[in-house]
Structure 1
Amino acid sequence: MIRWLIVIFLLLLIFQGLHRWLEKIGLGRLPGDFRFRLFGREFFLPVASSVLLSLIALGISKVV
């Protein structure tokens, strides 16, 4: 279980870093993506975007 928590944490860090680029292509503004401010910092939890990217990756892996 610790391994999954580390993976999820790393993925959230990657999404945080790619946030501006993902917004330009439309991800990050889906209804299931959460943004909130805490202690003067903005945090971004891309739940719906993660699901969408996972489905796209699944579709590509099934085709190839």
Structure 2
Amino acid sequence: MAIPIKAIPTLYGEEAARLRRKIDEVEERFASRPERDITKEPGYIMMRKIIEKSNRYANLFR
């Protein structure tokens, strides 16, 4: 038994223009955000320590 495919809603007029403005705002905000070095973040540092520790003990069981 086939599942019916629903039509994709299309925006026209002011709704489409408003959506386009919102998309442009979000893209501009994303492009203007400052670059961050993820390797300096505490979560990343903790993850690296866990991985290094697990790799150290993984060799014992081979």
> Shorter chain as normaliser: what TM range?
0.3 to 0.5
Normalising by structure 1, report the TM-score.
Answer: 0.34
More relative contact order, 1 or 2 (CA 8 Å, 6+ apart): 1
Larger-gyration structure (1/2): 2
Which of the two has greater helix per residue?
2
